[in-house]
Structure 1
Amino acid sequence: MKITVTVNGEAHTRDVEPRLLLVHFLRDELDLTGTHWGCDTSNCGACVVWLDRVPVKSCTVLAVMAAGKEVRTVEGLERDGELDPVQKGFSECHGLQCGFCTPGMLMTSRRLLDRRPDPSEAEIREALSGQICRCTGYENIVRSVRWAAEHPAGRPAETAETEDVTP
């Protein structure tokens, strides 16, 4: 099938098998390897991307389902050469160890902060409950998200909606 998907603001047209997963489309067709493919069962959350501004686990979405839609990946967080505050927070507060879960954590955290600019620790933990980190105890990840909330760098929220942020 021929599909066109807008990824990080750029339209991409490809012929794909109808069964191709979005995670593989991003990694193999577009060479956007920031989105990690972890468990293949939608349990780990390493593959979280945004599909029309909603976090989804890209290992459960077919590429053809993204046709005509907007996808935002971890590569799309940085803007004009400037890291997103969430990316800076993970660096400042040591929110990663091996880094495998980090792309999904970053995408989910950005969504949370766009919806709730000053989340409580409980809200951060709830939003990240669909993400599995096998290396950390989540303490530094929560600190990283709090750091980003406290250092928004004048970043406007993507939307003003207050819907669920857990992928």
Structure 2
Amino acid sequence: MAGPPHSTCHPPLLVDTEQLHSPFRLQEGKVGLVGNELCNVLYRQRLSKSAAYSVQDEMLCAGDFSTGKAICQGDSGGPLVCELPTAWVLVGLASWGFDCRHPIYPSVFTRVGYFSDWIHEIQMLTPPPDPTSAPQTPFPGQHLSTASSSGHPAALVPPQTWLLLLCAFRDPQ
């Protein structure tokens, strides 16, 4: 699932500028989905027609040319979620892009829907987890905190959790 055309999506963005070192708080930005053909045209213009950074079917692009929102170094593996009428959907995992300073190019994400059959196969091969084997205390230095960017509280969790949630809550067919 890539989200409907002209979807507004939200990747977490870690600010990476000379003034700010690794941010202490996860940040988000609204971006739009960009077609792979346009994304390839933009990247090839900058790379003198090189296909070294070609956007393939298993990838998707997202960005905001007016605000310059893009993923930066350190964002890899983070979720790209799109709001549909009834739910937020994980559509991508941050993969690569050019530097996150102007001029901004779309960010490239792994297209989660492309791998849904494989994810389902792995789910079927994996026994359900034993709830009694879960640790009873949080790992040192890893506690959940909350954030509120639009008045709605949300827990901040490691990016890998999004992929695990996708696998755990996917409806078997």
- Quick one: higher RCO (CA 8 Å, sep 6+), 1 or 2? 1
> Which of the two has higher C-alpha Rg?
2
Same fold (TM over 0.5): no
Q: Which has the higher strand share?
A: 2
Q: Which has the higher helix share?
A: 1
TM value normalised by structure 2: 0.25
